[in-house]
Amino acid sequence: MAIKTVMKPKVINWYQIEPILSKIDVIEPMKQGFIDYSKGLAEIPPVGELIMEDPPGDVHIKYGYLKGGKHYVIKIASGFVGNNELGIKPGQGMMLLFDIKTGQPLSILIDEANLTDIRTGIAGAITSSELASKNVDEVLIVGTGVQARYQTKYICQEMGISKVLLWGRDESKIDKLSNDIKSDNINVEIEKNLESAVRSSKLIITTTSARSPLVNSEWVQPGTHITAVGSDTHDKCELDYNILAKADLVVADSIEQNVLRGEIHQALKHNAINEADLIEIGCIFENPQKGRKNDEDITVADLTGVAVQDLVIAEAVYNTFDELND
Amino acid sequence: MAIKTVMKPKVINWYQIEPILSKIDVIEPMKQGFIDYSKGLAEIPPVGELIMEDPPGDVHIKYGYLKGGKHYVIKIASGFVGNNELGIKPGQGMMLLFDIKTGQPLSILIDEANLTDIRTGIAGAITSSELASKNVDEVLIVGTGVQARYQTKYICQEMGISKVLLWGRDESKIDKLSNDIKSDNINVEIEKNLESAVRSSKLIITTTSARSPLVNSEWVQPGTHITAVGSDTHDKCELDYNILAKADLVVADSIEQNVLRGEIHQALKHNAINEADLIEIGCIFENPQKGRKNDEDITVADLTGVAVQDLVIAEAVYNTFDELND
């Protein structure tokens, strides 16, 4: 009845992806992806979202393409907190690459949401590196989950950070995190008091799924940069919105998304900032003079995660896998 | 760093799906799916859409779940008209089934959009059977594509239709369609004039991708039922909107979707009908007395395709494949 296609998409499982990650460098492609996105060269529809109640879980579908590119990506990533009790990873999902000229599926990366975690870590690192004061050599990581690990890993790689301060609400988790990071030869200190930690830090990465602010605006000192990666829905929130009001520069990964999700959404809702004052990280990667002006500025970057990041990392994995298995 | 899962989703290709379709009967499950959907038991976010321009193509992402069900589905179906010239099927895509309690992917049905075509055919047949006058034994099929074939196949099965009238704009395609259907032992006639065909038909299925009306309201006689399956975007349109104004009953598969897409969207836009007068096919499957009242009523069903149909057919294929390969 129909023309038969012979092409079958390449299914690549996480155990096949993990060993080739060391061969993949997406720092520059991801910066370029953000630049292209902010130049309007990407077609990225609003994030699809599916909420489950019993047991609680959510699924995000991010998808899109770069004009002139070879592929479109559809990325599915879910989070089910109860999975831990079942011995199952809370994050699950896959990235799908399709031929942009025919719609044929080329590759199914069953990444169990790990590539999402990794591209989020990399985006955090390149954003923090771009916006933090140049003399920073310490980072305060707020939170104890997967992103605390990936942000630490990539920020240390990207910025040559020598000391990591950790703060988390759960002592059992913070010890485990500390041990995990220490094993990677990083100097780690656990902070007991978030206020004093924030007051003494010039680079802060927040990675929690908090639904009310953890960081108070009064604690934030001149010269500080904060990258907030935890809040990616309309209700999650890690920062007191007055931090954004007080900041000299508020940076979004996608203004279109951030007005609906994350810290920027919260600050706009409380009329603490103006949408017109926002700038996208892609604009700053293209014109670094639009970033931090001096060592006294307070800068905040709010990252909600954009499909262009998924496209960049999925293409890199697919191409590298292809080369290695040719 | 994270708990390792061992589960790998079952990848089932179209060549493995096609032979087991004869073992699958989704008529009753699909009716039940529509009933549950109309009772508010389904969680179906708005359709995701990605448009490509050069070459032209579109991708639809439909997804959702039934409360109390085992799975959520994400269905990707694309259409690239230029594929024909490349010897590639225009429709491509896959259906993904996930565990609703953990988010783990259970199955990847690489159906090349065929299951979408099939569930659309089945939905058309059960809708037409429910709404057409009981004494109907002929059907007029408008259009010559894949849906002309599937609507014919399933409507003949479901309603015991003995004669099929075909009308299409392209004579070369209509001859091919006629031959394809004839080979299935159905009495087929090609109509040269759409007006006279419509005037003499009590059951009409429109299956085209027309962007301006093909069927004029003045041609439609009392007692006629029309099922329109071709128009699934905000601009496609097969029926003169006055047909919906003139109809005694206008039926949607999803009022939420139909106000944005298809014939109902067009008629609402022209103020030809009121949203309050619409009824969903699921309500009629549950309460058949809400359907056709007598043999003189004109009824119109506008089907845009709902994720619950994808869920039903994907689950049926997955379960059957599992049983056969146990």
Residue A83 has its nearest CB partner, among B88, B102, B146, at B102
Q: To the nearest whole angstrom, how far is the Cα of A217 from the nearest Cα of chain B?
A: 33
More confident call, B162 vs B289: B289
Which tokens in the block code for residue A300? Answer: 């905040």
pTM, whole model, 2 decimals?
A: 0.93
Chain A and chain B share a number of CB contacts under 8 A equal to: 152
In angstroms, rounded to a whole number, what is the distance separating the alpha carbons of residues A320 and A322?
5
Residue numbers in B near A108 (CB within 8 A): 11, 108
Return the pLDDT at B1: 40
Contact: A57, B103; criterion CB under 8 Å: yes
* Cβ–Cβ gap B101/A79 under 8 Å: no
What are the residue ranges spanned by the domains of chain B? Answer: 10-115+308-324, 132-305
Residues of chain A with Cβ-Cβ distance to B74 below 8 Å are 59, 61, 76
Please say whether the dihedral angle defined by the alpha carbons of residues B138, B143, B144 and B146, taken in this order, is positive or negative: negative
Considering only the beta carbons, identify the residue of B9, B59, B80 that sits closest to A110.
Answer: B9
| Structure confidence at residue B5 (pLDDT) | 47
- The whole-number average pLDDT for the span B193-214 is 95
Percent of chain B with pLDDT over 70: 97
Q: What percent of chain A has pLDDT over 70?
A: 97
Distance CA A145, CA B3 (A): 12
Most confident of A3-12, A317-326, B187-196: B187-196
Right CATH for B10-115+308-324 from 3.30.1780.10, 3.40.50.970, 3.20.10.10, 3.30.420.40: 3.30.1780.10
What is the pLDDT, as a whole number, of residue B170?
Answer: 86
* Chain A residue numbers touching B149 (CB-CB < 8 A): 1
* Residue whose token pair is 């659309």: B120
Contact A186, A212 (CB under 8 A): no
Is residue B220 within 8 Å of residue B121, measured between CB atoms?
A: no
Q: For residue A43, give the chain B residue with the closest CA.
A: B50
Decide whether B10-115+308-324 matches B132-305 in CATH topology: no
Distance CA A314, CA B11 (A): 19
Separation in Å, CA of B80 to nearest CA in chain A: 6
Q: Which residues of B touch A93 (CB under 8 A)?
A: 103, 105
For helices B114-131 and B307-324, give the axis angle rounded to 10 degrees: 120
Q: Is A21 in a helix, a strand, or coil?
A: helix
> Coil, helix or strand for B153?
helix
List the single residue in B5, B52, B74 with the smallest CB-CB distance to A88: B5
Minimal CA separation from A272 to chain B, in Å:
31
- pLDDT of B184: 64
A2 vs B114: CB contact, 8 Å cut-off? yes
Contact residues, chain B, for A4 at CB < 8 Å: 89
Beta bridge partners, B61, equal B48, B76
B146 vs A104: CB contact, 8 Å cut-off?
no
Question: Token pair of B207, please?
Answer: 């299956």
If you average pLDDT over residues A85-92, what whole number do you get? 94
Give the pLDDT confidence of B110-156 residue by residue, as tens digits.
Answer: 999 999 999 999 999 999 999 999 989 999 999 999 999 999 999 99
- A318 neighbors A115 (Cβ within 8 angstroms): no
Tell me how close the Cα of A200 comes to any Cα of chain B, in angstroms.
29
Question: Which pLDDT belongs to residue A205?
Answer: 98
Which residues of chain B neighbour A101 with C-beta distances below 8 Å?
Answer: 52, 55, 57, 80, 82
Fold for domain A121-306?
Rossmann fold (3.40.50)
Give the one of B45, B80, B146 whose C-beta lies nearest to A50's C-beta: B45
Mean pLDDT of chain B: 94
B209, pLDDT greater than 90: no
From the list B235, B248, B306, the residue with the least C-alpha distance to B278 is B248
Query: What's the pLDDT at B183?
Result: 62
- Does ipTM surpass 0.95 in this model? no
pLDDT at residue A5 is higher than 60: no
Beta-carbon separation of B88 and A8 below 8 A: no
Residues in B closer than 8 angstroms to A11, CB to CB, are 11, 108
Contact B48 A49 (CB under 8 A): no
B-chain residues within 8 Å CB-CB of A96? 76, 94
Q: If 0-12 CB within 10 Å is exposed, 13-18 middle and 19+ buried, where does residue A53 land? A: exposed
Q: Do B5 and A64 touch (CB under 8 A)?
A: no
CATH of domain B132-305: 3.40.50.720
pLDDT band for position A183 (cuts 50, 70, 90): low
